[in-house]
Amino acid sequence: MSFQVFGIPVSRGVAIGRAVLVASSRVDVEHYFIDPAGIDAEIRRALRARDEVAREFEALKQDLPGDAPHELAALLDVHLMLLHDEALLGATRQWIVERHYNAEWALSAQLEVLARQFDEMEDDYLRERKADLEQVVERILSALAAQQGRKGGGAAAVVQRDFAGEDPLLLVAADIAPADMMQFKRSVFHGFITDIGGKTSHTAIVARSMDIPAVVGTREASRLIRQDDWVIIDGDAGAVIVNPSPIVLEEYRFRQRQSELERARLARLRHTPAVTLDGERVELHANIELPADALAAVEAGATGVGLFRSEFLFMNRGGELPSEEEQFEAYKAAVEAMRGMPVTIRTVDVGADKPLDRLSASELRHEHVLNPAMGLRAIRWSLAEPSMFRQQLRAIYRASAFGKLRLLIPMVAHLNEIRQIQEAIKRVQQQLTDAGQAYTPVELGVMIEIPAAAVMLPLLLRHVDFVSIGTNDLIQYTLAIDRADESVAHLYDPWHPAVLQLIASSIAQARAAGKSVSVCGEMAGDAAFTDLLLAMGLRNFSMHPSQIPSVKQRILRADSSRLAMALPAVLASEDPEKAAELVLVSAQRTHH
């Protein structure tokens, strides 16, 4: 039966494929295809892990004391029975044979099928056995991970393989943590569907960076969609169509082809300079998460990296922080890949929607903070961990010897924070000088993402070389909205008059002070805002590489001087929709 689920469209385009359901707690299970020649070996891996867990259960039964409750032995018997049930391992074998899934992925896929069956049982006792099944599967996954020489089921590199006849796959989950999302970059999945999240939740941001369709905030998708269902993701309308009719399927396949043709047409602009009709040159920089992303930035025609999110070097590491040498090599690789173009590295921005799997002593005291978005995060965390912060600064300064580097500090709200940062920089410079290690001058910038920073910008500008406006958090904090909470996601409004006023005044003040200013939040990569930001005087945009072509096309068709004349009317508008309409009307006038 065909049905639709609606959510928030966060990454445009159409994706068609089979659903892969993954529980949030198991997203970090390895997902990759195996070669046909390796199928038998993969089945043996699964059976070895099953037998190992069976031996553990048998040993536990043998070691039970004589006065142990009878229920304990009965529970172990239930687990043994589930372990040997053909519905678990037999069906897991089928996923391996027919779909070429690796053992961990196959086991997780079958668990989702069985869990749904348990949920639909009328008998309370039988329904509650789902928890036993999950415990059994977690033990098998741990045994499989141990075979690979790891503790637990940590994420590994995702391998992309193409097999004739394989259907495209779409990931369906209640939620996906930022660290887990990173392993799906260049992965086997062609689209994402989540129950929770908003336009600027990290799942949405990574989906856009991968240039694949995604719908978030669907609330019920992971419960309604079944493993292996045929699904269409309409990333433009925020619709998910499950088991579509042949007519609907053909319509969306046609839209897919049209989208691919448009993408190819825009790609031809790659080497065209971004210059407005009235001769204003605009820098289009890229946001990247990992050094390898710099290559995609160059391919897309970026003229620099406006935001290197260094926190992703700190994630999926089992609690270990990256060493100074490891960070240095990563920053150096990004700088060298950009071939002399500037690279702006943001210091580690963890907390809120990007927690580390390591808690420091200072974080332990804040473990039960009710609102992590306003807690110990970003520069606050770095200043609370001075040795970690200095280590990152040393790595950045050492990499500066290999190209043009800029240092960007997130979530600054106090002048005292700037002074502490400058002191840390002086100390690091002295350490490098004493050690005879080369470095070059590095410009210091701050992110404007807290309203307080926007209001006190004239004071901040006296102490920094440049500013970068992070619109995602600026909107969140200005409107007091958790951007990852789908229940208030509809109130997250980039067109809100207060937001527009803060952005416009920040750009104007930075330009008046002779300091460079960029926008690196999601607004920069949304072509719907290009004319507005040009009107405000912005000449440096930073976005995901995949968004550069569409924004460049908008710039090439714009007359910035005429847009600027329309700006006062836009900022005076009472309603965001009216503001958008005015901007579009003014832009249309310049195109004729």
What is the domain partition of the chain in residue ranges?
1-28+155-267, 33-154, 274-591
368 pLDDT band, cuts 50/70/90, is very low
Does position 45 have pLDDT exceeding 90, yes or no? yes
d(CA 484, CA 155): 23
Of 2.60.40.1120, 3.50.50.60, 1.10.274.10, 3.30.70.2860, the CATH number of 33-154 is 1.10.274.10
Q: What pLDDT does residue 27 have?
A: 53
As a whole number, the mean pLDDT across the chain is 85
Q: What pLDDT does residue 80 have?
A: 87
202 is an active site residue: yes
Does position 517 have pLDDT exceeding 90, yes or no? yes
Does position 73 have pLDDT exceeding 80, yes or no? no
Q: What pLDDT does residue 366 have?
A: 42
d(CA 353, CA 288): 18
Report the range of poorest mean pLDDT among 137-141, 459-463, 485-489: 485-489
d(CA 25, CA 137): 12
Which tokens is 231 given?
A: 């699904």
Over the stretch 313-351, which tens digit does the pLDDT of each residue have? 887 666 688 999 999 999 999 999 999 999 999 999 976
Q: What pLDDT does residue 187 have?
A: 64
Report the range of poorest mean pLDDT among 120-129, 180-189, 281-290: 180-189
Residue scoring higher pLDDT (373 or 61): 61
190 is an active site residue: no
Burial class (CB in 10 A: 0-12, 13-18, 19+), 426: exposed
Which tokens is 218 given?
A: 């669907």
Q: What pLDDT does residue 359 have?
A: 45
User: In 283-357, where does DSSP find H-type helix?
Assistant: 293-299, 324-337
69 pLDDT band, cuts 50/70/90, is low
Q: What pLDDT does residue 130 have?
A: 77
Which tokens is 61 given?
A: 């039964």
Residue linked to tokens 């605009």 = 282
DSSP string, 198-259: -TTSHHHHHHHHHT--EEE--SSHHHHS-TT-EEEEETTTTEEEES--HHHHHHHHHHHHHH
CATH number for the domain running over 1-28+155-267: 3.50.30.10
Residues whose CB is less than 8 angstroms from the CB of residue 347 and which lie 6 or more positions away in sequence, other chains included: 310, 378, 379, 382, 389, 392, 393, 396, 407, 408, 409, 410
Residue linked to tokens 């062609």 = 190
Which one is catalytic: 190, 496, 520, 544?
520
**DSSP structural state of residue 570:** H
Q: What pLDDT does residue 320 have?
A: 81
Does position 49 have pLDDT exceeding 60, yes or no? yes
Which helix (H) or strand (E) covers residue 62, if one does? helix 39-62
Which one is catalytic: 100, 202, 285, 544?
202
Of 3.40.50.720, 3.90.1200.10, 3.90.550.10, 3.20.20.60, the CATH number of 274-591 is 3.20.20.60
pTM of the predicted model as reported, rounded to 2 decimal places: 0.75
Report the range of poorest mean pLDDT among 35-49, 222-236, 511-525, 575-589: 575-589
Which tokens is 276 given?
A: 């407005």
**Which strands sit side by side in the sheet containing 239-242, from one edge to the other?**
3-6, 239-242, 230-234, 14-21, 169-173, 189-194, 214-216, 8-11
Over the stretch 125-153, which tens digit does the pLDDT of each residue have? 677 777 788 888 888 988 888 877 544 33
Residues whose CB is less than 8 angstroms from the CB of residue 363 and which lie 6 or more positions away in sequence, other chains included: 376, 381
